[in-house]
Structure 1
Amino acid sequence: MFNSTQLLDAAMVVPGFPWFWEQTLTIKLTLFCVVFAGYPVVVHIVSFFKKKPERMDSQSLAEKLYDDLKVAQQAVQSKDQDIKALKDVIDGLREPQETPEEDSHAARAEAELAKGNFELAEAFYLKQAQKDEESANESALKAAEAYRNAGFLVFMNNPKKAFQAYQKSVELDPNSAEGWNRLGLLQSLFGKFEDAKIACMRILQLKKNDKKWKAVAYGNLGNIHSAQGNLKSAEKFYNKVLLIAKGLGCKDTMAPAYGSLGLIRKIQGDLEGAEEFYNKALEIGKELDCKERIAIQYGNLGSIRHSQGDLNGAEYFYNKSLEIGIELDSKERIAIQYGNLGLIRMSHGDYDGAEKLYNKALEIDKEIGRKEGIAANYSNLGLICIDRGDIAGAEEFYYKALELDKELGRKEGLAVRYGNLGSIRQIQGDLEGAEEFWKKSLTLYKQIGAAPMIEKVQGWLDELEENKEN
C-alpha cells in the first residue's frame, strides 16, 4: 500500500508536464491509471485516505481472550502461561506467510480468534506443522512450535485431542521446556501422574540455571504429589517454589504457594496453620488487586470457619467468594460456593435448600467439565438421599462419585467415597461390607496424613468391632 512518500514519488513520474498539474482531480487520477496501467492505483489512493481500524497489540488481545475463556479452558496452565501461549498464537498468525493463501488463512484465523472462535487458527497451525515437518530437518523447530500452538487451541474444545499435538511438539523439539511443561500439565490433568513427573524432570534438566522455570516445575510437582495424596512431598515442593518466589520478589507466584501450603495444613488438621497461610495469600491477592485469588482465599477461609463449627462465619466468607465469582463470571468459583453454601444449609437442617444448591453446582460443573466438582456434588446429593431414606439413591450417587475420583486419581476423594459407602453398608446391616470400605478409607487417609479423618474412621471401625463382640 502507498504511503505519503510513495504518492509523492508517483507524482514525480510526470515532471515534464506542467499542464498536468492544472487539470482536475478526476483527470489526474485517470492519467495516473494510464501511467500505471494494470496496477490498481486508484484503489490504493482511496484506501490511503480511508482511516484503518486500529489493531489491538498481541499482548492486550491475548489478555482479553484469556478473560473471555471458560474456566475449564483455563485449567491446564497458569494465567500468565495461558496468556503467553495466546500471545504466541496471535504473533504467529501475524507473521508474513509464504503464500497469499496462507496470509489470507492467517488473517481470517486471527479475526475469528478475536471473536473467541479457535477452529480456523487450530486448522492453520496443524497445517503449518504438517508442512514444516514434511519439508526438511531444519524445519523441525518451526513444526514443534506450530504443534504447541495447535495443541493449545485444540485444548479449548477437546483436551484429550491436545495430547497428540503436544507429544509431537516434544518429539520434534525435545529441548523445549515450554513443550514439556504443556505436555506435563495435560498429563497431570488426566491422572497420568508418573508421565507428568517425567515431564517436570525434563524441565528441571533443561532449565537447571533458570529460577523461574524451576519454580514452575516445582509447583507442578507439588500439585502432582498433592493430587496423589503425598502431602509431605507436595509440601517440600511448594516450599521450594516459595523460596524461589521470595528471592525473585515474585508475589504472583508466592500467593498460590501459600494457598497450597494452607490446604495441606487443613487436611492435616492444623486449622490455625492453614488460616495463617490463607491470610498471607489473601493479603497478596489484595495487594495485586487479583479478584480471582481473593475469591479463592475467601472460600478457603470459609472452609476453616466451617471446620471450626462457626457456620455464620463460614457462610459470610462463602458468600464473599460467590459475589466475586459472579462479578468475574467465574463458573468454577460459583459452583464451588454453591456447593459450600449447600453444606451450610444442610447443617441448618434445610435439606431442600441444600439440594437446590447442590444441583445448581452440579449443572455448572457438568457444563465446564470440572470432574472433581461433579464428584463432590454427587456425594453431597447422596447425603440428601440418606436423610430421606433413599438408600439405593444414595449408593448410586456415591458410586458415580467414586468412578470419577478413580479416573482423576484423587486419594482424598476416594477416601471420602469409601467412607460413604461403608456407612451405606452399615445402614443395610452389612457390617462386613462396612468394615471393608472403612478400612480402604482409613488406608487412604493414612497415606495422605489426614489426622482428623484418620481418627474419625478409626472410631467407626472400633465401634464396629465392639458391636461384633456384643
Structure 2
Amino acid sequence: MVNGTENLIEAALALPVGWWNWYLLLETGNKIAVWCAIFGGIPIAAGGIKYFFKRKNVTSDATPTVAVNISNEDKIDSGELALKIYNDYKNVSDELRDAQQRLQESEQEVAGLKDAIDGLRTMEEQNGNSKYAIEAEKELANGDTKLAKALFLKVAEEKEKEGKSVNSEAAQAYRRLGSLAFLNSTQDAIDAYQKAVDLDPDNADGWNQLGRLLYRTGDMEEAARAYKRVLKIGEATKDDGLLAVAFGNLGVLRKTQGDLKGAEEYYLKALALNEELGRKEGIAIL
C-alpha cells in the first residue's frame, strides 16, 4: 500500500506545472486536506459505483438476470411458508390486544402472506419477472422482503397505468405489498392498503386489513369506518363469515374505547354467527 501511494504521488508531481496552479495557491492546511480527500475518497467512490451497478438491475424494467437454482422440489406449501414467515417476524405487544385480536390478526396476516407467496409463484411462470420472483421468494424465506415488495410495487404501478379495467389487479398487488410491508412498517402497510381500497372499494380484505392497522396506530375513528365497510360488504353479499369478522373487530374497538355495553352487543352477534359457521376458535374467544 505504501509503494502504491508513493507511485501515485510521483505520477501526480510529474504532471505539467499548469495543472497545479490552483493547488500552489492553497495554504498548507488546505493542501493537506486535498490529499486526504483524494486518498479517502477513492475507496468510497469505488464502493458507491459498485453498489449503484449492483442495485440498478432491481429497479430496471429490463428482464433480470439473477443467477438462481431453485427446483420445484425445494418449494414448500405456500401456507406453511407464510406461517413460518409470520412467526419469524411476529414481535408485537399483547398489552392492548385480547384473544379476539390475536386470533384474527394471526389468521389474516398469514392469509395475506400466503396470497403474496402465491402471487410470486404466479410471476415465476411468466416471462419478464420470473427470475426476479424466484429470487424474491428465496429471499423472503430467509427473512428479506425488499425484492418481493419491489416486485409487487412495480406490478401495482404498471396496472394502475393501464386504467380502470385492471384496477382490481392493481389493488391485489397493493394488498400483497401491504401484507409484506406490515412485517417491517405499519405506516407503509397502511399506505399500501389505502391504495388498495381506493382502487377496489368492494374488496373486504383490503378494508379489514386497513382497519386493523389503523386500530394499531390508535386511529379509532378511521378504524371503525373501515370495519363498517367490511360490515356493509358482508351484508350486501350475505357473507356470514365477513359479518362475524366485522362484528368481532367492532367489538374489540368498542371495548378499547371503554364502551363495554357496545362491545358486548357486537361480541354476541359475532358469537351467534361463529356458532352457525361452526368456527370453534371464534366461539371459544368470545
TM-score by length of 1: 0.42
2:53 is matched with which residue? none
2:187 is matched with which residue? 160
1:270 is matched with which residue? none
CA contact (8 A) 1:58 1:90 kept: yes
1:172 is matched with which residue? 199
CA contact (8 A) 1:204 1:214 kept: yes
Local SS of the residue matching 1:203 = helix
TM alignment of 1:27-42, pairs within 5 A: none
Local SS of the residue matching 1:175 = coil
CA contact (8 A) 2:204 2:229 kept: yes
Q: 1:88 to 1:245 in 2, by over 3 A?
A: same
- Counterpart CA distance in 2 for 1:154 and 1:79 is 15
- Counterpart CA distance in 2 for 1:199 and 1:232 is 21
Q: 1:165 to 1:73 in 2, by over 3 A?
A: farther
1:196 is matched with which residue? 223
* Deviation per residue, 1:309-329 (Å, 9 max, x gap): xxxxxxxxxxxxxxxxxxxxx
2:75 is matched with which residue? 55
* 1:71 pairs with one of 75, 78, 91: 91
User: Which has more radius of gyration?
Assistant: 1
Report the residue type matching 1:223 in the other structure: V
Local SS of the residue matching 2:120 = helix
The structural deviation recorded for 1:203 is 1.0
- Counterpart CA distance in 1 for 2:221 and 2:197 is 17
* 1:249 pairs with one of 266, 273, 278: 278
* Deviation per residue, 1:402-427 (Å, 9 max, x gap): xxxxxxxxxxxxxxxxxxxxxxxxxx
Report the residue type matching 2:248 in the other structure: G
- Counterpart CA distance in 1 for 2:185 and 2:152 is 16
| 1:231 aligned onto 2:260 | yes
2:241 is matched with which residue? 212
Report the residue type matching 2:240 in the other structure: K
Report the residue type matching 1:55 in the other structure: K
Local SS of the residue matching 2:201 = coil
CA contact (8 A) 2:117 2:137 kept: yes
| 1:148 aligned onto 2:148 | no
Q: State the number of aligned residues.
A: 209
- Counterpart CA distance in 2 for 1:155 and 1:191 is 16
The structural deviation recorded for 1:135 is 1.7
Local SS of the residue matching 1:206 = helix
- Counterpart CA distance in 1 for 2:171 and 2:268 is 33
- Counterpart CA distance in 2 for 1:254 and 1:197 is 22
The structural deviation recorded for 1:164 is 1.3
- Counterpart CA distance in 1 for 2:77 and 2:115 is 12
CA contact (8 A) 1:140 1:173 kept: yes
Unaligned runs of 5+ in 1: 1-46, 258-470
CA contact (8 A) 1:151 1:162 kept: yes
Local SS of the residue matching 2:230 = helix
- Counterpart CA distance in 2 for 1:124 and 1:134 is 16
- Counterpart CA distance in 2 for 1:55 and 1:201 is 39
* Deviation per residue, 1:407-465 (Å, 9 max, x gap): xxxxxxxxxxxxxxxxxxxxxxxxxxxxxxxxxxxxxxxxxxxxxxxxxxxxxxxxxxx
* Deviation per residue, 1:175-201 (Å, 9 max, x gap): 000011011111111111111111111
The structural deviation recorded for 1:136 is 2.4
Q: 1:73 to 1:63 in 2, by over 3 A?
A: farther
The structural deviation recorded for 1:52 is 6.0
CA contact (8 A) 2:123 2:133 kept: no
- Counterpart CA distance in 2 for 1:127 and 1:233 is 43
* 1:187 pairs with one of 214, 220, 228: 214
1:88 is matched with which residue? 115
- Counterpart CA distance in 1 for 2:268 and 2:147 is 42
2:10 is matched with which residue? none
* Deviation per residue, 1:64-93 (Å, 9 max, x gap): 222322232998852221221111000000
The structural deviation recorded for 1:56 is 0.6
| Amino-acid identity (%) | 41
CA contact (8 A) 2:211 2:222 kept: yes
- Counterpart CA distance in 2 for 1:63 and 1:52 is 20
- Counterpart CA distance in 2 for 1:165 and 1:54 is 31
Unaligned runs of 5+ in 2: 1-68
2:166 is matched with which residue? 139
2:14 is matched with which residue? none
Local SS of the residue matching 1:247 = helix
Report the residue type matching 2:232 in the other structure: Q
1:109 is matched with which residue? 136
- Counterpart CA distance in 2 for 1:139 and 1:98 is 20
Q: 1:73 to 1:173 in 2, by over 3 A?
A: farther
CA contact (8 A) 2:170 2:196 kept: yes
Report the residue type matching 1:247 in the other structure: E
Local SS of the residue matching 1:71 = coil
CA contact (8 A) 1:122 1:153 kept: yes
CA contact (8 A) 1:73 1:156 kept: no
Q: 1:52 to 1:204 in 2, by over 3 A?
A: closer
- Counterpart CA distance in 2 for 1:169 and 1:110 is 22
1:222 is matched with which residue? 251
State the superposition RMSD in angstroms: 2.4
The structural deviation recorded for 1:236 is 1.0
Local SS of the residue matching 1:95 = helix
